Amino acid sequence: MSEYLLSARSIEKRFGPTTVLRGFDLSVARGEVHAFLGGNGAGKSTFIKIVSGQHQRDNGAIEFEGRPIGTSITADVDPGAIAVVNQELALLPHLSVAENIALPRLRRGARTYSERIARAMATDALSLIDPQFAHESVDRLVGDLTLHERQLVEIARALSSGAKLLLLDEPTANLTAAETARLFSVVRRLIAETGLAVLFVSHRMREIRQVADVCTIIRDGKTAVDRAKLTSISDRDIVESMGQFMTTDGPAKDSTQRASHPSASRTVASTGAGVPLLSLRRADVRLDVYPGTIVGLAGAPAGPARLIDALAGLAAPGEWELLRAGKPLHYASTSAAARDGVGFISGDRADRGILHSLPIVDNLSAAERVVRGRSFARRAEAAHGAQLLETLNIRAGSLWDLPATLSGGTQQKLLVARWLMLNPTLLVLDEPTRGVDIRTKREIYGLVRRLAERGCAVVWWSTEYVELVELCDVVLAFDLNGQPTKVLEHADIDESTLADATGMAA
């Protein structure tokens, strides 16, 4: 029997004239969590799609359980032996949670679909991660779930498949710290009980060290580090092997760049000159936001998501009283918000950002066209777009290429660049660095700071407390039930204080 459950050697993959994998090697042993690391565009997702049968390799050899595998993995590996949670989720929105989890298992053999059996399967699978969510959501349509909730369903479906190899591509990108810890506990238990092997992709160094045993690093489609023990390689070595340079997971602090505007207090109004750009009121929380201020939102998704949806025109304000320059704020749509100078960027770029069927130039100009009432690209837009791509180091073959030709992190930069085409007065960010590498995170931080320096107020939700500590002038914290608990000024913001205010581990 082979030493490794999965062994891939000299893997090559091309898409037209572009070569993504250039003789890449990776081996995963039974009973281990193997961190698969690399910058955006290095080839991680392409390799995972090859192993999961979504792409066919052009060259190279793969063995699974010691047996050579042909070009089509799905033809040579038992269904369910390899389960994957992709960065872009693959659920069917018109089906229920129970149907999404149970159908892939019930389709094997001649088993007849049973709603009772499907509900039991789904409840058991989700209960591995969140028992309360399991009982509350098993009958809901997936299309009605938040991105955060859909991620839980996708992970539960993979964990329940009885897989021998579990491929996790940024599985914690939109989970809270508590849910991430619970997921890691479940994975470790399954490894101990079944000998499960896990290939784990993440850009969060703390998570990598928390759960992984060894790491392989890919750089420009080639193996830069092969099966290094995490105990024998430093963070600096990892980052440099990825072709990046060392920093913390967040941006470097620079107190000279911080806005000096008064921003917030609890139970009493801020004492600032003039009318705030934005005022948030709920119960005994009052938060006044002035131009150039970066406001962080911390806590479980329910609270920040409701506030973000109201600010961006995705939902009514609900329990919030929102004032824009002293007047009530209630946008009927995201278009209405954009015309009032409100930009919105989501980490869910697949469903809430990128226009997949339109070229890069249209994606860059989308917000400007909504605001200006135009439909087609003009020469000035193309010229400005080309300049932005160069300035932001976005590598694209042409402005007329589709976004699918860009890596996930580069697509996220594209969404930020969209608002650099305008001068929004308020920018609302919903986990904007979800699933991007350290270098791209830093570039996004810089772009957002640039907008703040122009006088744009920023509202930023992140489940990574290090981002909030480093970036924000003020943070509004929410508890596990989505209720606002505390407003913290920058001098009082640290990971421990945020954990206490939200009830979530840092």
3-state secondary structure 5-38: CEEEEEEEEEECCEEEEEEEEEEECCCCEEEEEC
Average pLDDT, the chain: 82
What per-residue confidence (pLDDT) applies to 248? 43
φ/ψ (deg, to 5) at 393: 55, 45
Q: Are strands 264-266 and 18-28 parallel, antiparallel or unpaired?
A: unpaired
Q: Give the mean pLDDT of 170-186.
A: 76
Q: How far apart are CA 457 and CA 10, in angstroms?
A: 49
Decide which of 414 and 211 is more confident.
211
Q: Give the mean pLDDT of 316-328.
A: 90
Q: Which fold has domain 6-241?
A: Rossmann fold (3.40.50)
Decide which of 26 and 392 is more confident.
26
CATH 3.40.50.300 residue ranges for the chain? 6-241, 262-358+424-502
Helices 97-106/147-159 angle, 10° precision: 20
The structure's pTM equals: 0.65
CA angle 370, 376, 377 (to 5 degrees): 100
Q: Does pLDDT of 256 surpass 50?
A: no
What per-residue confidence (pLDDT) applies to 245? 56
Q: How far apart are CA 98 and CA 116, in angstroms?
A: 9
Q: How far apart are CA 233 and CA 59, in angstroms?
A: 30
CA angle 190, 300, 309 (to 5 degrees): 125
Q: Give the mean pLDDT of 456-482.
A: 88
DSSP state of 409: H
Domain 262-358+424-502 falls under CATH 3.40.50.300: yes
User: Hey, what amino acid is at 186?
Assistant: V
Q: Give the mean pLDDT of 57-86.
A: 86
- Per-residue confidence at 249, pLDDT binned at 50, 70, 90? very low
Q: Give the mean pLDDT of 292-318.
A: 89
Least confident of 3-17, 160-174, 280-294: 160-174
Q: Does pLDDT of 136 surpass 80?
A: yes
Q: Two tokens at 11?
A: 């893997």
Q: Give the mean pLDDT of 397-425.
A: 79
Q: Where do the DSSP E strands lie in 304-433?
A: 321-324, 327-328, 342-346, 426-430
Strand partners, 166: 83, 198
